[in-house]
């Protein structure tokens, strides 16, 4: 393996061990969190996460900061200017963000560089939405002016997973700040670093103190308090379905709006009239990029029987040729996985697939060699031979594991796609656009990709249905989701209400 690219611990500008609690950078009072480099398991750094007291302190400060007229009365174009400065800061520090995130998660530098650029774009986009947003003057049914305005919720929270930290952070933080809130972010314990770097950038850009806290720490302490605390008016959560369900229950108790971006088991469907080269490239990218650690990973492949064997042969040959390697090597396509316990769980899922009758067509094991032994690698794996009802086809594995299955008709492809508790995304590969439209309308998922996969645009809403989540992020409505609506009735008649009988 080549190890090109600057990502050595001495070259990467890791943050210091302080966290941001209500405008103050200091050591947390919670348990220790260790960030490791998944390519060789070396320690990046250890910091202390937030305790429940730290969260309380951050919430108190956030309440004051959110109510401060200096923030609350800032005009939309002034808040937009702040978001632009944050975007510029992300762009200026993009290389460092990419390096820190690669060290923290093991993702390739190519991927983390793209994530940094996308985070900068997210802040720019919500600045533009904010400046162009209009309020509605509604048709009046009497002698009054009726209108509806959107106001900040107050103090809100974002809870994020480890797989794409800067993108998840930006997707929540940019619209939440644009809407005028104070925000508490809780990154995942396996990837706390980049959120701290982003917080420094926000501070440099002039975000007033107290409006942002970054509180790494335990989900069942820090995360839970953010959900249950009476002062928090909304939580946007990205993570696993079971944790999300628990959050929804607690949010229901206090009647708090939540947005839940959860897991997936997304089908990709290859019809016999598809361009097979394009399809094979898209399918491989859809499941094996990010080493399959992606909510939208296309992990269930359905191939029309007429091309099934030919397609599978092509897919297996090309998958075997994928370059598994070091995150800093520009040639790497499949980087290490985040942590040993996570790889263990993916390996258990592969063993379970074999136990339930599946055949491994490639991968299924760790790559061999000293460089690989040092890191948390797993070969891209293709499994066949199971019915859609098998656990392998129903449960999210969150690793580089694809199951392939044949189908005969369009109706069958739709039915198989929909036989799932999840509903996040679907890929359709066909030369017939009418068919793509029919199938796309028939599948129960929040996103449909046609002849492409895993493409994103901040202007296009994203989210899932069924066990994949609740609500949408991104898009123009992404800003409104962080506001509460207030309606005004303003009398224009200057007459007492006739009911009172005061009129002459």
Check: CB of residue 294 under 8 Å from CB of residue 303: no
Residue 469 binding ligand NAD, by CB under 6 A: yes
Give DSSP secondary structure letters for 319-347.
Answer: HHT--B--TT-TT-SB---S-HHHHHHHH
* Number of CB atoms found within 10 A of residue 173's CB: 30
- Catalytic residue, chosen from 202, 295, 362, 426, is 295
Residue 220 binding ligand NAD, by CB under 6 A: yes
Q: Which two structure tokens, joined as six digits, stand for 82?
A: 């702040």
Distance CA 484, CA 66 (A): 14
- The site string for ligand NAD over 175-214 (x = CB under 6 A, - otherwise) reads -----------x-xx-------------------------
Residue 264 binding ligand NAD, by CB under 6 A: yes
CB of 253 to ligand NAD, least distance (A): 13
Residue 163 binding ligand NAD, by CB under 6 A: yes
Distance CA 12, CA 405 (A): 44
Among 113, 181, 238, 405, which residue sits at the site for ligand NAD (rule: CB under 6 A)? 238
Give the distance from CA 437 to its chain's centroid: 26
CB of 279 to ligand NAD, least distance (A): 24
- Catalytic residue, chosen from 57, 107, 111, 172, is 172
CB of 427 to ligand NAD, least distance (A): 16
CB of 408 to ligand NAD, least distance (A): 30
DSSP label at 292? G
Rounded to 10 degrees, the C-alpha dihedral 124/125/126/129 comes to 120
Q: By C-beta, is 442 or 461 nearer to ligand NAD?
A: 461
Please say if 172 is a catalytic residue.
yes
Q: By C-beta, is 50 or 386 nearer to ligand NAD?
A: 50
Residue 396 binding ligand NAD, by CB under 6 A: yes
Residue 246 binding ligand NAD, by CB under 6 A: yes
Among 19, 295, 402, 439, which residue sits at the site for ligand NAD (rule: CB under 6 A)? 295
Strand-pair partners of 406: 303
Residue 162 binding ligand NAD, by CB under 6 A: yes
Give DSSP secondary structure letters for 131-161.
Answer: HH---EEEPPSSSEEEEEEEEE-SEEEEE--
Residue 104 binding ligand NAD, by CB under 6 A: no
Q: By C-beta, is 101 or 430 nearer to ligand NAD?
A: 101
Size of the residue set binding ligand NAD (CB under 6 A): 29
Give the distance from CA 498 to its chain's centroid: 55
CB of 228 to ligand NAD, least distance (A): 9
Distance CA 470, CA 477 (A): 14
Please say if 473 is a catalytic residue.
yes
Among 261, 329, 347, 467, which residue sits at the site for ligand NAD (rule: CB under 6 A)? 261
In a 3-state reduction of DSSP, which class is residue 496?
Answer: coil
Quickly tell me which residue has 């994020």 as its tokens: 160
Who's near 313: CB < 8 A, 6+ residues apart? none
Please say if 261 is a catalytic residue.
yes
Residue 161 binding ligand NAD, by CB under 6 A: yes
Q: Which two structure tokens, joined as six digits, stand for 335?
A: 């980087």
CB of 289 to ligand NAD, least distance (A): 14
Who's near 77: CB < 8 A, 6+ residues apart? 130, 131
- The DSSP element (H or E) to which 270 belongs, if any, is strand 267-270
Q: By C-beta, is 57 or 396 nearer to ligand NAD?
A: 396
Q: Residues with catalytic annotation?
A: 172, 261, 295, 473
What residue ranges bind ligand NAD (CB under 6 A)?
159-163, 186, 188-189, 219-220, 223-224, 227, 238-240, 243, 246-247, 261-264, 295, 396, 398, 424, 464, 469
């Amino acid at each position: 393996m080549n190890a090109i690219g600057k990502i050595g611990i001495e070259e990467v500008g890791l943050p210091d061990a302080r966290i941001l609690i209500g405008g103050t950078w200091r050591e947390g009072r919670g348990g220790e969190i260790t960030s490791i480099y998944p390519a060789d398991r070396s320690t990046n750094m250890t910091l202390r996460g937030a305790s429940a007291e730290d969260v309380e302190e951050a919430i108190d400060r956030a309440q004051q900061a959110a109510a401060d007229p200096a923030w609350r009365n800032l005009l939309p174009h002034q808040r937009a200017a702040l978001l632009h400065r944050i975007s510029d800061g992300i762009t200026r520090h993009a290389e460092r963000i990419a390096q820190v995130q690669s060290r923290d998660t093991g993702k390739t530098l190519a991927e983390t560089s793209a994530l940094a650029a996308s985070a900068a774009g997210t802040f720019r986009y919500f600045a533009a939405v904010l400046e162009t947003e209009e309020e509605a003057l509604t048709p009046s049914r009497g002698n009054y002016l009726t209108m509806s305005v959107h106001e900040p919720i107050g103090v809100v929270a974002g809870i994020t997973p480890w797989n794409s930290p800067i993108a998840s952070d930006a997707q929540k933080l940019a619209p939440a700040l644009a809407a005028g809130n104070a925000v508490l972010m809780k990154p995942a314990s396996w990837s706390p670093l980049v959120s701290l770097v982003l917080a420094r950038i926000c501070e440099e850009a002039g975000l007033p103190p107290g409006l942002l806290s970054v509180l790494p720490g335990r989900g069942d302490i820090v995360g839970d308090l953010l959900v249950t605390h009476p002062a928090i008016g909304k939580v946007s959560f990205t993570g696993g379905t079971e944790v999300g369900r628990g959050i929804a229950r607690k949010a229901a108790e206090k009647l708090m709006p939540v947005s839940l971006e959860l897991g997936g088991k997304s089908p990709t469907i290859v019809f016999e009239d598809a361009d097979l080269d394009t399809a094979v490239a898209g399918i491989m990218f859809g499941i094996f990029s990010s080493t399959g650690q992606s909510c939208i990973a296309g992990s269930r492949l359905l191939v029309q029987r007429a091309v099934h064997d030919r397609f599978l042969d092509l897919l297996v040959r090309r998958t075997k040729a994928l370059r598994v390697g070091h995150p800093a090597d520009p040639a790497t396509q499949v980087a290490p996985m985040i942590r040993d316990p996570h790889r263990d769980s993916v390996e258990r899922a592969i063993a379970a697939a074999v136990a339930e009758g599946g055949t491994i067509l490639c991968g299924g094991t760790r790559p061999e060699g000293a460089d690989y032994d040092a890191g948390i690698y797993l070969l891209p794996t293709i499994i066949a031979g199971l019915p859609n009802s098998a656990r392998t086809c129903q449960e999210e594995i969150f690793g580089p594991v694809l199951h392939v299955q044949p189908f005969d008709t369009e109706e069958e492809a739709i039915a198989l796609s929909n036989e799932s508790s999840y509903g996040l995304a679907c890929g359709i590969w066909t030369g017939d656009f009418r068919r793509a439209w029919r199938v796309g309308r028939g599948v129960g998922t929040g996103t449909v990709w046609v002849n492409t996969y895993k493409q994103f645009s901040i202007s296009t809403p994203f989210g899932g249905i069924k066990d994949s989540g609740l609500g949408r992020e991104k898009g123009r409505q992404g800003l409104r989701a962080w506001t509460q609506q207030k309606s005004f009735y303003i009398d224009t008649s200057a007459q007492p209400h006739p009911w009172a009988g005061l009129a002459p």
